[in-house]
Structure 1
Amino acid sequence: MPEQDDSEREFDLRWADNAEHKEPSARARMLAARWKENPPAPQPFRADPGPRAPRRSSWVSTLVVFGCVAGLIAVIGYLNYRSSY
Protein backbone atom coordinates (compact mmCIF):
# COMPACT_ATOMS: atom_id res chain seq x y z
CA MET A 1 0.00 0.00 0.00
CA PRO A 2 1.55 3.31 -1.03
CA GLU A 3 2.26 5.95 1.63
CA GLN A 4 -0.48 8.54 2.04
CA ASP A 5 0.52 12.15 2.19
CA ASP A 6 -0.69 14.33 5.07
CA SER A 7 -3.62 15.84 3.21
CA GLU A 8 -5.06 12.41 2.35
CA ARG A 9 -4.51 11.14 5.90
CA GLU A 10 -6.24 14.23 7.32
CA PHE A 11 -9.15 13.66 4.94
CA ASP A 12 -9.42 10.05 6.12
CA LEU A 13 -9.51 11.14 9.77
CA ARG A 14 -12.13 13.78 9.07
CA TRP A 15 -14.17 11.25 7.13
CA ALA A 16 -13.95 8.73 10.00
CA ASP A 17 -14.85 11.33 12.64
CA ASN A 18 -17.94 12.37 10.68
CA ALA A 19 -19.26 8.81 10.36
CA GLU A 20 -22.92 8.44 11.30
CA HIS A 21 -22.47 5.15 13.14
CA LYS A 22 -19.72 4.90 15.73
CA GLU A 23 -19.04 1.60 17.44
CA PRO A 24 -19.08 1.84 21.25
CA SER A 25 -15.87 1.25 23.14
CA ALA A 26 -15.06 -2.13 24.65
CA ARG A 27 -15.84 -0.79 28.13
CA ALA A 28 -19.21 0.52 27.00
CA ARG A 29 -20.05 -2.87 25.44
CA MET A 30 -18.91 -4.70 28.60
CA LEU A 31 -21.03 -2.48 30.87
CA ALA A 32 -24.05 -2.78 28.58
CA ALA A 33 -23.80 -6.58 28.68
CA ARG A 34 -23.34 -6.59 32.47
CA TRP A 35 -26.21 -4.19 33.07
CA LYS A 36 -28.53 -6.16 30.81
CA GLU A 37 -28.33 -9.07 33.28
CA ASN A 38 -27.92 -7.09 36.51
CA PRO A 39 -28.93 -3.41 36.18
CA PRO A 40 -27.32 -1.01 38.65
CA ALA A 41 -29.37 0.53 41.42
CA PRO A 42 -30.44 4.12 40.77
CA GLN A 43 -28.17 6.72 42.37
CA PRO A 44 -29.09 10.29 43.26
CA PHE A 45 -27.19 13.02 41.45
CA ARG A 46 -25.05 13.79 44.48
CA ALA A 47 -25.20 10.77 46.71
CA ASP A 48 -24.76 11.26 50.43
CA PRO A 49 -21.28 9.99 51.28
CA GLY A 50 -22.50 8.69 54.62
CA PRO A 51 -21.14 9.29 58.10
CA ARG A 52 -17.50 10.28 58.32
CA ALA A 53 -15.12 9.92 61.19
CA PRO A 54 -14.53 13.20 63.00
CA ARG A 55 -11.50 14.96 61.61
CA ARG A 56 -8.59 15.61 63.93
CA SER A 57 -7.50 19.15 64.37
CA SER A 58 -4.61 20.25 62.21
CA TRP A 59 -2.94 21.46 65.40
CA VAL A 60 -2.70 17.91 66.68
CA SER A 61 -0.91 16.80 63.52
CA THR A 62 1.39 19.82 63.69
CA LEU A 63 2.28 19.12 67.32
CA VAL A 64 2.99 15.46 66.57
CA VAL A 65 5.36 16.41 63.74
CA PHE A 66 7.18 19.06 65.80
CA GLY A 67 7.37 16.67 68.75
CA CYS A 68 8.98 13.98 66.58
CA VAL A 69 11.47 16.49 65.15
CA ALA A 70 12.34 17.79 68.64
CA GLY A 71 12.78 14.23 69.92
CA LEU A 72 15.04 13.35 67.00
CA ILE A 73 17.15 16.47 67.60
CA ALA A 74 17.44 15.56 71.30
CA VAL A 75 18.51 11.97 70.50
CA ILE A 76 21.10 13.13 67.97
CA GLY A 77 22.42 15.73 70.42
CA TYR A 78 22.64 13.14 73.21
CA LEU A 79 24.51 10.71 70.95
CA ASN A 80 26.95 13.43 69.89
CA TYR A 81 27.45 14.42 73.54
CA ARG A 82 28.16 10.80 74.55
CA SER A 83 30.57 10.20 71.65
CA SER A 84 32.67 13.29 72.45
CA TYR A 85 33.77 11.84 75.83
Structure 2
Amino acid sequence: MSEREHEEREFDLKWAQQAQHKEPSARARMLAARWKHNPPGPVPFRADPEHTSRVRRRSSWVSTAVVLGTVALVIILLGYLNFQPY
Protein backbone atom coordinates (compact mmCIF):
# COMPACT_ATOMS: atom_id res chain seq x y z
CA MET A 1 0.00 0.00 0.00
CA SER A 2 1.50 3.34 -1.02
CA GLU A 3 1.70 6.24 1.40
CA ARG A 4 -0.98 8.14 -0.50
CA GLU A 5 -3.40 5.22 -0.25
CA HIS A 6 -2.59 4.88 3.46
CA GLU A 7 -3.37 8.56 4.07
CA GLU A 8 -6.66 8.28 2.15
CA ARG A 9 -7.63 5.19 4.12
CA GLU A 10 -6.73 6.88 7.41
CA PHE A 11 -8.82 9.90 6.42
CA ASP A 12 -11.78 7.66 5.57
CA LEU A 13 -11.58 5.89 8.95
CA LYS A 14 -11.39 9.18 10.86
CA TRP A 15 -14.33 10.54 8.86
CA ALA A 16 -16.41 7.42 9.52
CA GLN A 17 -15.67 7.39 13.25
CA GLN A 18 -16.69 11.06 13.59
CA ALA A 19 -20.12 10.43 12.06
CA GLN A 20 -22.99 12.01 13.98
CA HIS A 21 -25.38 9.11 13.44
CA LYS A 22 -24.40 5.45 13.41
CA GLU A 23 -26.91 2.93 12.12
CA PRO A 24 -27.57 -0.05 14.43
CA SER A 25 -26.67 -3.53 13.27
CA ALA A 26 -29.21 -5.81 11.64
CA ARG A 27 -29.45 -7.91 14.82
CA ALA A 28 -30.08 -4.81 16.94
CA ARG A 29 -32.85 -3.69 14.57
CA MET A 30 -34.41 -7.17 14.59
CA LEU A 31 -34.40 -7.37 18.39
CA ALA A 32 -35.78 -3.84 18.74
CA ALA A 33 -38.66 -4.72 16.42
CA ARG A 34 -39.36 -8.00 18.25
CA TRP A 35 -39.19 -6.42 21.72
CA LYS A 36 -41.44 -3.53 20.68
CA HIS A 37 -44.45 -5.89 20.61
CA ASN A 38 -43.23 -8.58 23.01
CA PRO A 39 -40.69 -7.23 25.55
CA PRO A 40 -38.45 -9.77 27.30
CA GLY A 41 -39.06 -10.58 30.95
CA PRO A 42 -36.65 -9.67 33.73
CA VAL A 43 -33.52 -11.81 33.97
CA PRO A 44 -31.44 -11.99 37.15
CA PHE A 45 -27.88 -10.74 36.87
CA ARG A 46 -26.49 -13.91 38.42
CA ALA A 47 -27.91 -17.28 39.33
CA ASP A 48 -28.42 -18.42 42.92
CA PRO A 49 -24.86 -19.03 44.25
CA GLU A 50 -25.88 -21.97 46.48
CA HIS A 51 -27.39 -23.94 43.63
CA THR A 52 -24.52 -23.37 41.20
CA SER A 53 -21.76 -24.12 43.71
CA ARG A 54 -23.30 -27.47 44.74
CA VAL A 55 -23.87 -28.56 41.16
CA ARG A 56 -20.40 -27.53 40.02
CA ARG A 57 -18.67 -29.17 42.97
CA ARG A 58 -20.54 -32.42 42.48
CA SER A 59 -20.06 -32.54 38.73
CA SER A 60 -16.35 -31.73 38.96
CA TRP A 61 -15.77 -34.61 41.39
CA VAL A 62 -17.77 -36.98 39.26
CA SER A 63 -15.92 -36.03 36.09
CA THR A 64 -12.55 -36.28 37.89
CA ALA A 65 -13.44 -39.77 39.18
CA VAL A 66 -14.54 -40.88 35.71
CA VAL A 67 -11.31 -39.66 34.10
CA LEU A 68 -9.05 -41.20 36.75
CA GLY A 69 -11.01 -44.45 36.65
CA THR A 70 -10.69 -44.63 32.88
CA VAL A 71 -6.94 -43.99 33.02
CA ALA A 72 -6.51 -46.68 35.69
CA LEU A 73 -8.57 -49.12 33.64
CA VAL A 74 -6.46 -48.50 30.53
CA ILE A 75 -3.22 -48.97 32.50
CA ILE A 76 -4.47 -52.25 33.98
CA LEU A 77 -5.73 -53.46 30.61
CA LEU A 78 -2.43 -52.68 28.88
CA GLY A 79 -0.49 -54.43 31.66
CA TYR A 80 -2.78 -57.44 31.42
CA LEU A 81 -2.30 -57.71 27.67
CA ASN A 82 1.48 -57.35 28.10
CA PHE A 83 1.46 -54.46 25.64
CA GLN A 84 4.75 -54.00 23.79
CA PRO A 85 4.94 -51.15 21.28
CA TYR A 86 6.51 -52.05 17.92
Q: With structure 2 as the length reference, what TM-score do the two structures score?
A: 0.61
Distance 1:79 1:15 in 2: 72
Aligned partner letter, 1:56? R
Whole-angstrom CA distance in 1 between matches of 2:31 and 2:39? 10
What residue in structure 1 maps to residue 26 of structure 2?
A: 26
Indicate how the Cα distance of structure 1 residues 16 and 73 shifts in structure 2: closer, same or farther if over 3 A, else same: closer
Unaligned runs of 5+ in 2: none
Aligned to 1:47: 46
- RMSD of aligned alpha carbons: 3.1
Name the residue aligned to 1:35: 35
Matched length? 77
Partners of 2:46 and 2:64 lie apart in 1 by 33
Inter-partner Cα distance in structure 2 for 1:64 and 1:38: 45
Larger CA Rg, structure 1 vs 2: 1
Identity %: 62
Normalised TM-score (structure 1):
0.61
Task: Provide closer, same or farther for how the CA distance between residues 14 and 56 of structure 1 changes in structure 2, counting only shifts above 3 A.
Answer: same
In terms of mean alpha carbon deviation, does 33-42 or 59-68 score higher? 59-68
Aligned to 1:14: 14
Gaps of 5+ in 1: none
Residue aligning to 2:82: 80
